[in-house]
Structure 1
Amino acid sequence: MGDAPPLPPTRWALGGSRTSGYGDRFAELIAEGADVVGEARLADALVPRGAAILDAGSGMGRIGAHLLAQGHRVTAAEPDPVLVEQSRRLWPELEVLPLEILALTSDALTSAAAPTAYDLVVCVGNVLTFVAEGTEVAVLRRLGSLLAPGGRILVGFHLQEGPTTAREYAPEEFLADVEEAGLVVQHRFGGYDLRPVDDLYCVAILARA
């Protein structure tokens, strides 16, 4: 068998220097004492203590590190080498796999001694709007394949006023992609504080259909 073909470049990677300040900005916010773990509080409420959680697109590690501190078993995955280095430096106890979502195969996870099934997959911070063009359904399907029985996916992204290098992901298009990926929306909100659905931000809790 030959090597697998290379994965298409993500929108994040194509953004180049325009995405380079993300990790530094969050580090500044943390140093200032800002609340940067709203996503993690909701994730923590969705699972019992000690759950197996995958932080897919973990960035500089703020969400995975918070969930680890709450007693969960967290595997983080982040393809950006700068963010991987920052995460490992800030939170060395958080294991980070330098892989993008489509590379999170059972073989890759097993090789890294990581679980292959999770009680919760966290995919927040606009990750879905930064994946490679045309791969949204494949990414959602891959995340669904990593769920343990009864497991769920927490996703969140801007509908308006998001990062300039991210795509616009209309709610109706997202919902169609969720269905095509074999998933269902259990709940949808306008923010991680469970505010009503609005036109600015989408938070959704997904499960296998």
Structure 2
Amino acid sequence: MMYDKYIENQSSGCNMLEFYKASLKSYCENGDWEECNNFVEQIDVHLFEKYNNLIVLCEKFDKLINSGDNEEPNKCAYAKKCFQLYEKYIQECLGGVNNYYCNELKNFKHDYETKIKELSCTNVPTILTSAESNDLTSIIIFPVIIISALCFISYIVNKDISKIDHIMYHIILDNIKNILLIQNVSLFFMN
């Protein structure tokens, strides 16, 4: 596996990114894939490190899953290592960053939390940090804005209704005065 070669050559100063690009380019040339060559050009050191982070994490998780039933201490050790790596890697995804790397970490979170429920490890957290934003500011500001808008709309509507009510009141009052006047006039002429 290329990851194993990466780990071996990491200490010797070998540039694994260039090795990976050359290997991928060679693979692409044997096929007729222009898209593959475009992909090779887009790979940078940061992307390559993220790719390797995911490989390390999945490798530890595979060891956790594939451990035998009688290897509970090993499973707990693998689970703890998965937790530590995840907590380290998820830091750059906090605050709602949305990219493939963070999405894969979210997928890992789900898989880990499902698997850890089956184990009885006391010193390993069962819930991983979520990359989703739980920003207290937005939780508070959103309802305040909604309530303020409703109050403003209510004020405008009531103000207009008050004007309409006032006008209707005077129209009705004038009509009543006219009716009373007509009654008085008709009573006057009847007498």
TM-score range, shorter chain: under 0.3
Greater helix fraction, Structure 1 or Structure 2:
2
Greater strand fraction, Structure 1 or Structure 2:
1
Which has more radius of gyration? 2
Scaled by the length of structure 2, the TM-score of the pair is: 0.24
